[in-house]
Chains A and B, each alone.
Chain A
């Protein structure tokens, strides 16, 4: 698998993970990385250099909107909210990944069941 394809898969999965998480509630960067890491049992992890550039890019595309708000401890954090445009991306993204896994399953018997 070339580096380009690996990078695209990583980016694509990261986008889906972030959008799915923010569909539930607005979160700030550290919480996004932490929750994704915990909920995927460490299969998906973010570094600072992979998380924020991706968040900024998704923000630029209009999928996310960020606002400074106080967290539970009263500290200002930059919360990312899913926009209607971002919400519209979720359905097609999920479908594409479903097809991707079906294709892999058919080819290599990689089943996620």
Chain B
């Protein structure tokens, strides 16, 4: 190669050879190519300053960018937008958890598993024992999906508890609506409180043990060496 002895290579061209544009699918690939090219240029100059001849300096420089495939993948992951990250680590696990909890409840209702009424004084709590027994597993699945996508602890918790959180939102909409339509009744508030316990607090408590292992390991990992995004 003639340019080995005569002139420095076109570093941008070298980067493009290893990181073709079809691999580097990010918003501004040219800026990345320019920056990596400056790195190669500096590496080459540094090698020459250390006394290497042109060929040896060039060989060392090109070794730096040898594995273009891995580099492209890492850059794409690093440049991935915050929206994508939120979708993968919060919304998607939350939807999956919610869907699984809904399907599980529906299945038990279809096969005729009845809820049990638990009387505490004058108050009756409706407990779907069979369904509640599945919730730790469902919460764990949501936690796993969320942690796999490197979610911060709050997102992981929200994804795992999403069935309870959605019910909380629904109930917070129903209560004021009911008060507006029917007027204020003390018993409506009592009903709301019981609904809150039956559909938010108890399922939330059932989901939590599934989320906790992921939450704790996520927290331990990120606090000890602090890598969370």
Q: Which positions in A face B, CB cutoff 8 Å?
A: 4-5, 8-9, 11-13, 15-16, 28-31, 34, 47-50, 52-54, 56-57, 60-61, 75-78, 92-93, 96-97, 99-100
Complex contacts, B82 vs chain A, CB 8 Å: 60
Q: Using a Cβ–Cβ cut-off of 8 Å, how many residues does chain B contribute to the interface with A?
A: 30
Binding site secondary structure of chain A = helix
Complex contacts, B31 vs chain A, CB 8 Å: 78
A-B contact pairs, 23 of them (CB 8 A): A5-B221, A8-B221, A8-B227, A11-B225, A13-B225, A15-B227, A29-B39, A30-B46, A47-B64, A48-B39, A48-B64, A52-B71, A52-B78, A53-B75, A56-B79, A60-B79, A75-B38, A75-B41, A77-B38, A78-B31, A78-B34, A78-B35, A96-B224
B225's partner among A9, A53, A54 (CB-CB below 8 A) is A9
A79 to chain B, nearest CB (A): 11
Complex contacts, A5 vs chain B, CB 8 Å: 221
Please determine whether B71 and A49 come into contact, CB atoms closer than 8 angstroms: yes
Complex contacts, A16 vs chain B, CB 8 Å: 226
> Is B52 an interface residue when CB atoms closer than 8 A count as contact?
no
Please determine whether B74 and A53 come into contact, CB atoms closer than 8 angstroms: yes
Complex contacts, B77 vs chain A, CB 8 Å: 53
Please determine whether A30 and B38 come into contact, CB atoms closer than 8 angstroms: yes
Query: B39, B75, B79: which has the most chain A beta carbons within 10 Å?
Result: B39
